[in-house]
Amino acid sequence: MAVALSPNTMNKTDRSRTNHRSSKDFSRALVATLNARGIYFHGSTWLPSATGDYANGERGYQLNDNGTHRIRSHAEVRAMRGES
């Protein structure tokens, strides 16, 4: 037996994407600006440093950018606010 999702359930799921813990590393204004552009935080991961060393790496943010999944550093996410 298949379960159909109602439109209300789907809307609640879409809104919950913005509540990922990763979004708490940024200001509410930045998160709201990105959400208005269709960019949502999906998760986080650990990125290696430029030399490939994970011990000195940084957090990477998994973003859903209008259906395209991207991983960006903290500085790159902050720079996305200025993009048009």
Q: Is position 14 within any domain?
A: no
Six token digits for residue 60: 């990477």
Q: Is position 47 within any domain?
A: yes
For the chain, the domain total comes to 1
Residues 6+ apart with CB under 8 A from 60: 44, 45, 46, 47, 71, 72, 73
**10-residue block means of pLDDT along the chain (84 residues)?**
42 48 82 91 91 92 91 93 68
pLDDT attached to residue 16: 45
Q: Is position 74 within any domain?
A: yes
Q: Is position 44 within any domain?
A: yes
- Which range of residues forms the domain containing residue 46? 40-84
pLDDT attached to residue 24: 80
Q: From CA 71, how far away is CA 59, in angstroms rounded? A: 10
Hey, how many other C-beta atoms are within 10 angstroms of the C-beta on 49?
A: 11
What are the residue ranges of helices labelled H in 1-84?
Answer: 7-16, 28-36, 74-80
Q: Is position 23 within any domain?
A: no
